[in-house]
Structures are given as structure tokens and as C-alpha cells.
Amino acid sequence: MLNLPGHPGCNCEGPTRRELLRIGSIGLMGLSLPHFFFWRAQAAAAASKYAGARGWESARSVVMIFLQGGPSHIDIWDPKPDAPSNIRGEFKPIKTRIPGTWIGEHMPMMAQHLDKATLIRSMSYTPNGLFNHTAAIYQMLTGYAPDKVSPSGQLEPPSPADFPTAGSQVSKLKPPTDPVLPFVELPRPLQESGIIGKGGSAGFLGKAYDPYRMYQDPAKPVKLEDLSLRKDIPPERLKDRFELLKGVNGSMPDLQQALNDYAVDEYYGKAYDLVLSGKARDAMDLEKESPAMRERYGMHTFGQSLLMARRLIEAGTRFVQVNWPSVANGDPETSAWDTHAANFRPLKNLHCPKLDRGLSALLEDMDERGMLKDTLVVAVGEFGRSPRLGVSTSGNSNSPDGRDHWPYCYSAVVAGAGIARGMQYGESDATASSPKEKPVHPADLLATVYFALGIDPDMEIRNHLNQPRELVKGTPVMGLWS
């Protein structure tokens, strides 16, 4: 049964519309003709508005490395060796290739490759119900503070009324031209306790713009049946079904046909091409990489996820989001950044070695392939950790060597798409407690991502109630391209 929206099904063999939706995740079904022309007019206005601006349209694609759980900025990116012992902690600083910039001693590979990136040391926001993970994650990835936040910072489960995550906005406003997955999220969903996927869906854009969720461990054999053509359907038969669809489309009234030209036909055509081209399957097949390359990234979930991200970007995917493979508030001794009970041992033995190897490999690999020229790489968490050890800042209990949540000041790494190489942007105060200069709000960082892709952060979009909203309540950080 081939089902067409608003039309009776046709009895024929082949993939159903539901299968194509599941396979493609690239639909334009939420696009009306008036909205299409409105967005096209906004795009033309933005091109004129930002013509000649450094950084505008500098990126073709984005790798968002989301370190959910809140990495300790003071122990990783922003050491304070002259601070009192209950602030500076156990780790010593090491030199990087950015003159005058030192990072934590357990990031030696990144110290050698930080010259390919800019280190932001002034990420900051004042919490308003955003002290816990879920609400902070939602703000970081959608650019909007959530409407309803409990005193603990927990949110309700994902809703169709949610503001869309950045990758969903990008896949709608800048869909790829090749038959590839526009937005892929891996290797696990965003999660705090029982709240799964908040801040990681297309929300009011509709499910057609949800990410393709590759929730498997890339360090193990990956199953990709949903990106494969069924064995009992040869390509010729699928092509026949597509031609039948085009024939039905051709009999539609003129206005509906105009809508179809921009939506339905495009949708099915790309889904058809996606399955037959095999580009998505090939991109996710890490067996095509040499053992040496896989080892360079690290034979663990995070490292192999970054390698898969590079392959997806290389194949034409517009937006890849790699979530740190752990529940945000999980056990720090096994994988989580949430180091209330123990900070230094997990960072030394687990977190920093994986982050150091994986992120340095991605920057080195993409740079050698020339991919950093038009790919923006962002590595950031929802907040940092408290500079002072053993105190409670969010209502959580902390061990004497534990650090609590700290949104007032933390760090991010950005690279590619013309971003300045070997630069530090912003500075924290003497205890890494607040920005000393050039504060960057999470929404500003997200606005920078949109700006680099040639999407006006100020553009108007419509929510589920047809109310006008800004794409993001932030301002691009133009100084990153200086």
C-alpha cells in the first residue's frame, strides 16, 4: 500500500509512506506555500543585511558535540593554579599551542591541537530555574528558556509544543541538496533521570524534522536495516512506485500541485534517492575506516561517534549532534560528567582521556581533509562546575572533592568555518566563577551557528499556535572570526 496524504491508497507493492518517513527523516511536509515564499523573502533580506560580514555563510555543515552533564571547566579548559587549593583542585596546568593559554594536564592531545580552534572561556548565564540539567540542555540546544520549570530544574517530557532543537531548524531552513540524512543525532538521546529527549526534537516543526536517531554504539557492529532497501524490493520496482507517485501528483489541482512541487514530490524523491544511493549506510559503516584511524579516535563510544560524525559530514549531512554517551546525571565513575560525588578520579581516568583523544582526532582529521574550511565544530555542555569544592549551588549534595552545577561561567571549543585558529575568546575571573570580559550566552553561541550557516538568527518563525517568534534570542559572536 502506497499512501499519499489526502488521497486514497493505491494497492501496490513497495515501501509505505510510513517507511519512507522513517527512512528519510528529511521531509518537507510541514512546509506550506505561503511559508515557503515568506522564508525565501527573509533569506533574500538576510543575504542583503549581512552581505560582506565576516563569518556569514562560512559553514556548510555543523558538528555539535554536546557534553551533556556539565564538564568541569576549571579542571579541563580553564585552570586557576594561583587560586586557593579548595578552588584550583588537584590538577596542574599544561601549555597549549595558543600562546599564553594553558589547559588541564589530562588534555595533552588537545593542548597540541588547540591551535586549530578558539577556546571560549566566558560562556555564562544567570539561572532562572535552569540550575539542573534538563532545563539547561533545553536552553542550550533550542535557544529558548523553557516555559515550565520545577524548583529542581526538571521539565515535563518532550512535547509537540516544544521549541525545535537547532538541528531541526537547520534541516528545515537549509536542507541538503544531496540524498543524505540532513540531521543525525547519536549515539544516545539527551537524558536526565526519566526525562528523555527534552530539547532534542523538532517540537512544533513536526516530526518530519526530527533527527535520524542513530542510538547505537558505533564502537560495536551497527545495524542499518532501516537505511537499506528490502531484499524483496528490487530498485526497479521502487522506481516504478516513484513514477506512479509522480503520475498521481500530476493530476492534482494547480494550487495543490504547487504545494506538491515544494513538498511532497521533493520529500519522496529524496527519500527514494536516499535509499538507493546508500550514502547514509556507507557513512555509518566504520569498517570502511582503517584500524589506525579508528584507534586514533579511540575505540570507545564517544570516539567512534565522532568518527561517524566526520563520515556523515563528508557524505553531505548538514547537522550532526554527538551527545556524550551518558545520562546527564548518571554515575561519574562510569561515564557521566556530573561529578558531585567524585570529581578528580573520574576526570583523570575516564572523561578527559576520552574527550582528549576523540576531540583532538576530529580536529586533526577534518583539518587534514580540508573539511574545517566549511564545517563548524562546537563542543560545549549545558554548564560548568562550581569553582569551590564541596559546596552546594543547586540543592544537590556534594562530596568534599565534588563540584556542583555552575552556569555563571564555563567553557566551549569552536573551530572551522573561518573561526579564528589558535585564539582564546573571553576570560574568566581569578577563580573561574564569572566572565571577566566578553560573556557569551548559550543563545549567542547558537545564534553564531545559524549565522555561520547563512541563516538569519533574527528571522521570524511561527510556533504551534501560529505566533511569531525569533529563531533564537541571541546575537552572533562576531569576534570569533577576528
Q: Quick one: average pLDDT of 256-278?
A: 50
Cα separation, 352 vs 365, in Å, equals 19
What does DSSP assign to residue 264? H
Cα separation, 322 vs 302, in Å, equals 8
List, in order, residues 6 or more apart from 467 with CB less than 8 Å away: none
Residue with cell 506538491: 260
Q: Quick one: average pLDDT of 285-308?
A: 97
Q: Which of 21, 33, 12 is nearest to 239 (CA)?
A: 12
Query: Torsion-angle region of residue 115: left (phi > 0), alpha (psi -120 to 50) or beta?
Result: alpha
Main-chain dihedrals φ then ψ at residue 395, nearest 5 degrees = 90, -5
Task: Work out the pLDDT band at 38, boundaries 50, 70, 90.
Answer: low
What does DSSP assign to residue 270? H
Q: Which three cell numbers stand for residue 404?
A: 556542583
Instruction: Give the H/E segment covering residue 103.
Output: strand 102-104
Per-residue pLDDT reduced to its tens digit, 76-89: 999 999 999 999 99
Task: Tell me the domain boundaries of the chain.
Answer: 1-30+232-277, 57-224+284-481
Query: In DSSP terms, which residues pair with 385 in a beta bridge?
Result: 405
List, in order, residues 6 or more apart from 316 with CB less than 8 Å away: 61, 176, 177, 178, 180, 279
Output the CA torsion 337→342→346→348 (10° steps): 110
pLDDT at 15 over 80: no
Looking at the domain that runs over 57-224+284-481, which CATH code has it been given? 3.40.720.10
Residue type, position 148, single letter: K
Residue with cell 501528483: 249
Instruction: Supply the pLDDT for residue 86.
Output: 97
Q: Comparing 166-170, 252-256, 328-332, 456-460, which segment has the lowest mean pLDDT?
A: 252-256
Indicate the burial class of 376 (C-beta count within 10 angstroms; 0-12, 13-18, 19 or more): buried
pLDDT at 163 over 80: yes
Q: Quick one: average pLDDT of 184-206?
A: 94
Instruction: Supply the pLDDT for residue 8.
Output: 36
Contact present, 370 and 116 (Cβ < 8 Å) = no
Q: Quick one: average pLDDT of 263-286?
A: 65
Q: Which of 302, 390, 380 is nearest to 342 (CA)?
A: 390
Give helix 264-277 / helix 235-250 axis angle, nearest 10°.
Answer: 170
From residue 228, how far is each of 74, 220, 274, 317, 418 by CA, in Å? 46, 19, 9, 17, 36
From residue 382, how far is each of 133, 157, 418, 442, 471 by CA, in Å? 7, 18, 25, 8, 20
Task: Work out the pLDDT band at 131, boundaries 50, 70, 90.
Answer: confident
Among the residues of 204-343, which ranges form H helices? 235-250, 254-262, 264-277, 279-283, 291-297, 301-315
Instruction: Give the H/E segment covering residue 236.
Output: helix 235-250
Q: Quick one: average pLDDT of 94-106?
A: 97
Task: Work out the pLDDT band at 41, boundaries 50, 70, 90.
Answer: confident
Strands 435-437 and 195-196: unpaired
Cα separation, 358 vs 356, in Å, equals 6
